[in-house]
Amino acid sequence: MRIIPAIDIIDGKCVRLAKGDYDTKKVYYENPLDAAKQFEDSGVEFLHLVDLDGAKANHIVNYKTIAQIASKTNLKIDFGGGLKSDTDLYIAFESGATQITGGSIAVKNPLTFISWVEKYGADKIILGADVFDENIATNGWLKTSSKKLIPFIQDYVNQGIKFVICTDISKDGMLQGPSFLLYDKVLKATPNIHLIASGGITTLADLKTLKKLGCKGAIIGKALYENSISLKSLEQFILNN
């Protein structure tokens, strides 16, 4: 299972939100590279980088942060937030992203999203499935659509998608544990996907449970920044799993 720390960016800084609410913003690092280097030093290989400015602006904004981290670490970066056009995607990959995550675009412009899968391959494009009560959310979680989670995922699996990041927004940043029942439901409905769990991961026990469920990855945010999971204990977990 991939262990994937998250770095969310606003104004070029590493921040965390609660339930996606921009008014709850807390800055943890003035320079996201400092966080990325600490993660890499702890044995982490993957990074989830989210452009919250881009999510609001509907186009890529913080691409320089990708370039900085990609050039100064060996982390494999998946990048999301505001990717709406072929140009956005080109900039993200040219800046050093290994994979990109498309959420709102997959809801609002599925033809463009599928064209990205066809052009770059299913290993490069991740479906972002962010949910409130199993309804897909868009626009940096500021809006909720009428689309239901499992049919949404199944439709894209039928069109070639392999990687899915599923975030229960009600859990995100709350340090109260992830949505195990939701992920179990998704995996039973779509057993062949590479499901990456996101939102609410608080302890190493959470990671073990997600692995047992069959999740192929776990994104960890506030738990690392608030030391609910220490980098030292995470390093040991990575070595032993």
195: its two tokens: 């499901």
179-195 pLDDT, tens digit each: 999 999 999 999 999 99
Kindly report the CA angle at 47 between 42 and 52, in degrees rounded to 5? Answer: 130
Percentage, residues of the chain above pLDDT 70: 97
H helices of the chain, where?
Answer: 32-41, 52-57, 63-72, 86-95, 104-108, 110-120, 149-157, 180-189, 204-213, 222-225, 231-240
* pLDDT value for 7: 97
- Is residue 233 predicted with pLDDT exceeding 80? yes
45-79 pLDDT, tens digit each: 999 999 999 988 999 999 999 999 999 999 999 99
Contact 216, 188 (CB under 8 A): no
Q: Check residue 229 and report its DSSP letter.
A: S
* pLDDT value for 228: 95
Domains of the chain (ranges, CATH numbers): 2-240 (3.20.20.70)
* pLDDT value for 140: 53
Q: Which of the two residues, 153 and 176, has the higher pLDDT score?
A: 153
CA 209 to chain centre: 19
Closest C-alpha to 49, from 57, 39, 41, 58: 39
Across 6-16, average pLDDT: 95
Q: Which of 51, 78, 88, 130 is catalytic?
A: 130
130 tagged catalytic: yes
- Is residue 171 predicted with pLDDT exceeding 90? no
Contact 7, 216 (CB under 8 A): no
- Is residue 142 predicted with pLDDT exceeding 70? no
**3-class DSSP state for residue 78?**
strand
Closest C-alpha to 4, from 227, 215, 188: 215
- Is residue 213 predicted with pLDDT exceeding 90? yes
Kindly report the CA angle at 139 between 121 and 166, in degrees rounded to 5? Answer: 55
Q: Check residue 203 and report its DSSP letter.
A: S
CA 217/CA 109 separation, integer angstroms: 26
Range of weakest confidence among 29-43, 90-104, 111-125, 140-154: 140-154
Q: Which of 8, 51, 168, 172 is catalytic?
A: 8
- Is residue 86 predicted with pLDDT exceeding 80? yes
172 tagged catalytic: no
